[in-house]
Homo-oligomer: A and B are copies of this chain.
Amino acid sequence: MNTKTIAVLTSGGDAPGMNAAVRAVTRTGISSGMRVMGVRRGYNGLLNRDVFEMNLRSVSDIINDGGTALFTARSPEFNTPEGIQEAADNCRDMGIEGVVVIGGDGSFRGARDLTKAGIPCVGVPGTIDNDIASSEYTIGFDTAMNTAVEMVDRLRDTTESHDRCSVVEVMGRRCGDLALQTGIAVGATTILVPEIPYDFQRDIVDRMMFTQKTGKKHFIIVVAEGVGGVDKLAKDIEAKTGIETRATVLGHVQRGGSPTLRDRVVGSVMGYYAADLLYHGKGNRVVVMRGGKITDLDITEALNMTRTFDKKLYDIAHRISI
């Protein structure tokens, strides 16, 4: 027997493209003959019963909006045995037979626990950090990277006009993917990521000095959030090289903005898959991208995977940025 009423929520940090996923879940659900409920502010909405029934038009004209139309929040109350139980009870009470959870690893752990408590859940990876081991891609990553690139391109103008060095911190929490990709795209002289230790003299100073000898006068160093310390780094670079150096932290601006095509399309397809899984009675799954294709995995299995950093790409990056 198929699930008849499902719900959808967004949890954790917001990410551009979440709205595409919410829209696809809703439209796929309704066109499959299910009722679809929107839950506001993540798991909190299940605790507070802040839930409303959606129709086809509830998700009109949101695919191009950043953020999440369902709002989001972190929910410490939910992350307790009592919280999980209460959320499951509320779901049963409201007739919710399955939940699509759009968020990161933390949100997936909640989805796993809620499944155990009797409400089948499907996770959809939505975070700008691309820090989910089980999926090659997370919704929001492309938009955040393009925002970072656009901002560094602007910095490049002033950096170049003044023959300076710019040290730029980009987001990504403990994951260096955003820094690596952004660094390649802006032609950064050096990219610092938490996964690879660096040597100040060899990886920064010597590289700058080498390219300076070939005629280059301005430099961009991209630093992952998980490495940090850009203010000190800028001072050290200026002290050591004599090149005027400025630090910039791009900050929360990277989280917002109208989603790129990729985040809208991946969000749409993943949302479709998630609703379809619940329609076919499958829970405790997470929708992922693997080998460039959208597929699904067991949540528990997915949560046990470990990320591998693309060292080969990291080496290519530095090979062509000289």
Q: Is A78 engaged at the interface, CB distance under 8 Å to the other chain? A: no
C-beta contact mask, A176-208 vs B, less than 8 Å → 1, else 0? 000001101111000000000000000000000
Q: A57-B215, A73-B162 are in contact. Are A154 and B66 (CB under 8 A)?
A: yes
Is there contact, CB below 8 Å, between B246 and A248? Answer: no
C-beta contact mask, A142-181 vs B, less than 8 Å → 1, else 0? 1001110101011111101111001000000000000001
Most buried by B among A55, A66, A67, A253: A253
Is there contact, CB below 8 Å, between A181 and B261? Answer: yes
Is there contact, CB below 8 Å, between B153 and A27? Answer: no
Is there contact, CB below 8 Å, between A246 and B252? Answer: yes
Q: Is A72 engaged at the interface, CB distance under 8 Å to the other chain? A: yes
Q: Is A297 engaged at the interface, CB distance under 8 Å to the other chain? A: no
A200 to chain B, nearest CB (A): 22
C-beta contact mask, A245-262 vs B, less than 8 Å → 1, else 0? 010111111111110111
Q: Is A242 engaged at the interface, CB distance under 8 Å to the other chain? A: no
Spot the interface stretch: A92-100, A117-125, A265-273, A280-288: A265-273
In angstroms, Cα B155 to Cα A10, docked, is 18
Q: A31-B322, A272-B316 are in contact. Are A67 and B157 (CB under 8 A)?
A: yes
Q: Is A112 engaged at the interface, CB distance under 8 Å to the other chain? A: no
In angstroms, Cα B63 to Cα A296, docked, is 36
Q: Is A28 engaged at the interface, CB distance under 8 Å to the other chain? A: yes
In angstroms, Cα B19 to Cα A185, docked, is 11
Is there contact, CB below 8 Å, between A320 and B261? Answer: no
A210 to chain B, nearest CB (A): 9
The oligomer's copy count stands at 4
Is there contact, CB below 8 Å, between A157 and B60? Answer: no
In angstroms, Cα B12 to Cα A11, docked, is 42
Is there contact, CB below 8 Å, between A157 and B73? Answer: no
Q: Is A131 engaged at the interface, CB distance under 8 Å to the other chain? A: no
In angstroms, Cα B20 to Cα A184, docked, is 10
Residues of B within 8 A of A211 (CB): 56
Contact of A272 among B157, B264, B291, B319 (CB under 8 A): B319
| Residues of chain A in range 48-78 having any CB-CB distance to chain B below 8 Å | 55-57, 60-61, 63-68, 71-73
Q: Is A91 engaged at the interface, CB distance under 8 Å to the other chain? A: no
In angstroms, Cα B36 to Cα A320, docked, is 14
Contact of A261 among B61, B142, B163 (CB under 8 A): B142
| Residues of chain A in range 1-15 having any CB-CB distance to chain B below 8 Å | 10, 13-14
Is there contact, CB below 8 Å, between B67 and A31? Answer: no
Residues of B within 8 A of A313 (CB): 269
Given contacts A57-B216, A155-B256, A184-B265, 7 further A-B contacts (CB under 8 A): A10-B161, A61-B187, A67-B160, A145-B261, A146-B261, A262-B262, A292-B293
Would you give 10 A-B contacts (Cβ < 8 Å), ordered by A? A23-B187, A28-B319, A56-B211, A64-B186, A68-B161, A72-B161, A151-B151, A181-B261, A181-B265, A269-B316
- The 9 A-B pairs at the shortest CB distance, nearest first, are namely A292-B292, A154-B256, A157-B256, A66-B157, A67-B157, A67-B161, A14-B161, A185-B264, A158-B255
